[in-house]
Chain A
């Protein structure tokens, strides 16, 4: 376990008191964000996001499946995250632990609850046949702020993903013989088409150390953080998802300020996201 010396924490706190951060950013500034899509051709959609030195790759795989009984006309999504040992000397091989699980579930909520994927357009036969979208997040270099990097990677991958009709055509055509709904579906969708999506909310992560709250924590800042807050906001500035983490606390005013900053930063990131998928 790589241990951070206590005086480093004191140094960062002192800097923070003067409104400074170790890498010369200001409190509400992100590191350089780079988004690249279409990086994995085996996946139906993919993206690589770098925030500073943190690197995350997300892939979308689609498959045919059956809907949940309470939502018979809707497609299904599932999100998994892997903190692979490649990415940090502290990550061990093995099944996902709580950090990976929390990461996957928070990214998932930011996409699922706001219906970013148009699930009703992923239904082939109500109650019987729908499209499953698997989002797999693969963290490959960990240098702070996995939440935002993973979330952006998942969104960039989804926004450039396609429904793989061509790959499943034979399979569907065989079933179409006995099922008129599939026949109609195939007539409407004869080849691969873009995954139907809405404008997504963007998540921004903040950490608190001492009395200071900063956005996009670096690895050192995460090491000394008392509390963490991730807020996903949409284009109107409304809140769509939130997650507080670590064992420190926030005051209600601190949370309100974070939400305001998240809306501003969120809009900047959304612009960047859309520029990268042109």
Chain B
């Protein structure tokens, strides 16, 4: 899709007929016609009409890597805020430690941050997360920045180009959660640089030439 074709649509905007196209993400069908249900960028993928949101709450999908903040340690689980419309449950069976009943607060307590994965979303949108993978862990240092989850793809960039750029110029470890949270581990001045770069990306997420702009900022 070329630059000049980036079209922004609004809710209730007519996109196409359902005998020609298929209703994809961010769209709905009514009386054989496909409409946008959110504000976003229209994207045609094969026969699918999708609307990529410009703004909105994180929609948890199993397999997503997320950064969570523990709300409460319960008897055999923890309640975790993952910046979604609902809190997520982390069960003692889903962590790398051997946790006895009622000993949950010895491992994770209110305010602790974790890198986790969404394991299950049921029909009532009850969310479960897991830390059972080797690349998932409890965060011990660094800091967390939060942006609108719909802007995360820009922070990652095409094939990871933007995040590679950020890591390269600031010698930092960066984990980008799909839920709009980003963990940065670096010295203070590099952390400040990454935070500022993320702020620029968030502000100018719909602009073209963003990668170049960020590169010139980081080079300073």
Q: Interface on A for B, CB 8 Å cutoff?
A: 3-8, 10-11, 14-15, 18, 20, 22, 24
Contacts and interface: CB of A to CB of B under 8 A. Distances in A.
Contacts of A7: 113, 139-144
Given A3-B69, A5-B69, A5-B144, A11 B112 contact: no
Contacts of B8: none
A6 B108 CA distance: 12
Given A8-B143, A8-B144, A20 B188 contact: yes
Contacts of B192: 20, 24
Interface of B: 69, 71, 81, 110-113, 139-144, 188, 191-192, 195
Contacts, number: 37
A48 to B, nearest CB: 23
A18 B192 CA distance: 13
6 contacts: A3-B69, A3-B111, A5-B139, A11-B142, A11-B143, A20-B192
3 A-B pairs with least C-beta separation: A11-B143, A6-B111, A5-B113
Contacts of B144: 5, 7-8
Grouping DSSP codes into helix (H, G, I), strand (E, B) and loop, the B interface class, with mixed when no group exceeds half, is: mixed
B111 A5 contact: yes
A6 B113 contact: yes
B5 to A, nearest CB: 34
Contacts of A18: 188
Given A11-B142, A11-B143, A5 B188 contact: no
B115 to A, nearest CB: 12
Nearest to A17: B188
Contacts of B188: 14-15, 18, 20
Contacts of B141: 7, 10
Given A14-B188, A15-B188, A20-B188, A6 B142 contact: no
Nearest to A6: B111
Instruction: Specify which of A3, A4, A14, A24 lies most central, judged by the most chain B CB atoms within 10 Å of its CB.
Output: A3
Nearest to B181: A5
A7 B114 CA distance: 11
Q: Give the residue among B110, B111, B191, B195 with the most A Cβ atoms within 10 A.
A: B111
Nearest to A18: B188
A14 to B, nearest CB: 6
Contacts of B140: 7
